[in-house]
Structure formats: C-alpha cells, structure tokens
Amino acid sequence: MFHSKKILAELAKCRERNRKWTLFSSWNISRGVIHVIGYGSKRWLSDVTRWLNKEHFRNIEASNRIWRSTSNACTVCGDMTDPWLSPISIEKGAAKPMENCLPLLYHNYWHSEGFALLLNNGKTVEIRMKRRRYQPVLCGGPLPEPYRLDQLHFHWGPSNHQGSEHLVNGKRYAMEVQLIHCAEKYKSLDKACDYRKGIAVVAILLQASADVPLFEFEHVVSKLPLIKSPYMTASLNAEKAISWLRCRALNSGYYTYGGTLTYPLGGRDVIWIVYPDPIPVTPSQVAAFRNVLSPERTPITDNCMKLRNGKVEVKFCLPRGNVSTLPR
C-alpha cells in the first residue's frame, strides 16, 4: 500500500534538492500512481524514482507502477514532452556519417567464467553476469571512456511485427535486446544516472524470420518456463547467455545518438548504439517471452516504451571491424 503523506513529503524534499533544475512541479496520488503536473526536469524525476525504489517500495510491483507513470513524460498536462527521450525512429537518409569512426571493443564478453542470472523482474526478462573476476567492458566507437556491462534485458510486443522499441527506416521488429552499461568510474548504474554520458546502451534487434531456432539463443529461451512467475530466477551458462549477440556485435555498422534510458527510468544524455541489421530468430522463440507473467499474474505481452518524436542528431558508423577480446 502507498503511504501518501510520506511520499508527498519526500517529493517536496527531492524538488528542493533539485530546485535549480525544476521550473514548476506539483503532483497528486491517485490509485497508486503519481501524476506529475507542470514541468520537472528528468534529473528531478530520477531523484524521486530512486528514492521510491530504495527507501520506500520493497515491492517491485509498486516500483513498476511508479516507473510507468513518470516515464511517459515530464508532464501529464500539455504537450511538454522532453525531446531527448528515447526510443526514436531512425531514418537512414537523415543519419550523418560519423567522422573518425573507431571500432567498438567488446572486452571480456564471450567467455564462460562465472554464471549468468536470468530474472523475471515483473516488467521484463533480465540477464546479469555473476561471479566474474573481469566484468564485460565496452569501449571505442562513440564512447569517451570504458563502460561496464550492468545488465541486459528484452523488449517485445503482442505480435512478431511490433516488439522493438526503436524503428529503423519506419520498420519495427519482433524484439529488442538492450545492453545497459555504466561508465567504469561509477560504482553503480544508479550513480551513473546522475551524470551526462554516464550510461551507454547497445540495442540489438531480433526478427522473427528464421525457420530453424537460433541455437545459442535457445539456451536462454529454454529457461523461460523456470522464470514464468514474477521475481523467479534461473542460472545460465555465462558464455551461452550472450554469445548469440556476437554475430551482430562484430563487424557491423551501427547508428548512435544521445537520448535517455527507456528502462529503468533515469539517465541524461545516454549514449545509444543501435545495430540496424536484425538477428533472425524463430517466431516460437519470440512467442516464449509472451508467456512470462507480470505481478498481476497476466502474461506480459507488451513492454515497449512508446515512440518519441524528439529531434536528435543520429550518426552512422561503419568501422573497419569491431573487436572482441578476452582477459589477459
């Protein structure tokens, strides 16, 4: 249950801490959802959301409600949506070539040390790496510094033609997997959210067009029945958990732009790297994700953020070759 007085008091404190970023904001609580009225910066909303998740809501279902209500826009009154919000529709003809395009370096990604944790968090399916001496690190390309992999999660929709958050040349794909990274100098994703370019996201599209299941991806799909209920977990082989992404991450061009996180809420000037060429999987592999249950015990059939119309500069990079390395 929501303790309205306590939440409203903390909202006021969050606004006071971020006064110079908050032009005008007010709120009310109705049916377990916070409605923000007026214009409040994303930094303020991120501050509010982090407090709700950390200090008040031990219940993930409640946290998801807050995320859903505050992530749609800075406002619920008027057309004042932040133009930097992701996801976007990427048009090939409008993208500018990136000068001095360097290859991306995928360091410590494709090996079997430790294990991977598969989690149904009530909103999506997550994969996190555990018990590794060397965490996966991404650098090069448009990144100003090394970024450490925090987690990767999936987005899907009600059909095989609508499930990706990003569109490429007006086309939406069956699924999208997003690899969330935070700059190595920050200890956590939560801390990185407070800084510009503290977060980098790699988005890879999946197309339901294959006749034969993608073998390595099947290692993930086969474990989905074990996490059908919300908050359930299962163990995966660390290498097989993400090795199916290697075919797209290596020797492939990508788009990049500055936006914000779509899930979890937070971040500012997030560096997005979107691979336009999808990985082919079978329709049955995509359908398996729609059997995962929400906290309301109903199937999660659509967990995509709505498309944004913000004007952002999109660049295209076609490096000579991306690089994969193992720890020395």
Nearest to 214 by CA among 205, 226, 206, 202: 206
Position 193 pLDDT exceeds 80: yes
Position 73 pLDDT exceeds 80: no
Residues contacting 11, CB < 8 A, separation 6+: 27, 34, 48
Number of separate domains in the chain: 2
Q: Are 179 and 246 in contact (CB under 8 A)?
A: no
Q: What residues make up the domain containing 152?
A: 89-325
What distance in Å separates the CA atoms of residue 125 and residue 206, rounded to the nearest whole number?
15
Query: What CATH number did the domain enclosing 266 receive?
Result: 3.10.200.10
Each residue of 50-61: pLDDT tens digit?
554 444 333 333
Q: Are residues 42 and 115 in the same domain?
A: no
Q: What is the pLDDT of residue 133?
A: 84
Each residue of 118-169: pLDDT tens digit?
999 999 999 999 988 888 999 999 999 999 999 999 999 999 999 999 999 9
Q: Are residues 202 and 286 in the same domain?
A: yes
Per-residue pLDDT, averaged over 171-186, amounts to: 96
Q: Are residues 31 and 141 in the same domain?
A: no
Ordered DSSP codes for 214-263:
-HHHHHHHTTGGGG-STT-EEEEEHHHHHGGGHHHHSS--EEEEEE--SS
For residue 221, what are its two tokens? 């799909």
Each residue of 4-47: pLDDT tens digit?
455 556 666 665 655 444 333 444 443 334 444 333 444 545 55
Residue 81 lies in a domain: no
Q: Are 260 and 270 in contact (CB under 8 A)?
A: yes
In the block, tokens 């980098």 appear at 200
Q: Are residues 103 and 158 in the same domain?
A: yes
